[in-house]
């Protein structure tokens, strides 16, 4: 479990034709990759969708925070295994 506590990794993702740098811990990159694969879309498309939802909010969080919250909500709403 301690491996999930590694420092954030910065990656560049294309959103609407622009490269955006996002820093997330490895566990979140892994979860984002899995979510995109389950939906059959590239990570960049999923990040763009999360970004669009984030911007619509009354007080938008930064993109990395929005991704973490989106992944948390997704995990929380998943059926129990």
Would you state the structure tokens that stand for residue 30, as one six-digit string?
């892994």
63 neighbors 22 (Cβ within 8 angstroms): yes
* Within-domain flag for 68: yes
The Cα 49–Cα 66 span in angstroms is 11
* Within-domain flag for 16: no
User: What is residue 37's three-state secondary structure?
Assistant: helix
Each residue's pLDDT expressed in tens, for the chain with a length of 81 residues: 555 578 889 999 998 889 999 999 999 999 999 999 999 999 999 999 999 999 998 888 899 999 999 999 999 998 776
* Within-domain flag for 65: yes
The structural domain count of the chain equals: 1
Q: Model pTM?
A: 0.86
> What domain range includes position 32?
25-81
* Within-domain flag for 34: yes
Non-local (6+) Cβ contacts of 77 within 8 A are: none
* Within-domain flag for 58: yes
Q: Which residue has the tokens 């979860």?
A: 31
* Within-domain flag for 4: no
């Amino acid at each position: 479990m301690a491996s999930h506590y590694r420092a954030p990794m910065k990656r560049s993702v294309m959103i609407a034709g622009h490269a955006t740098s996002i820093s997330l811990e490895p566990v979140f990159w892994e979860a984002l990759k899995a979510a995109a694969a389950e939906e059959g879309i590239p990570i960049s498309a999923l990040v763009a969708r999360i970004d669009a939802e984030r911007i619509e909010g009354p007080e938008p969080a930064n993109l990395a925070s929005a991704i973490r919250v989106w992944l948390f909500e997704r995990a929380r709403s998943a059926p129990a295994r």
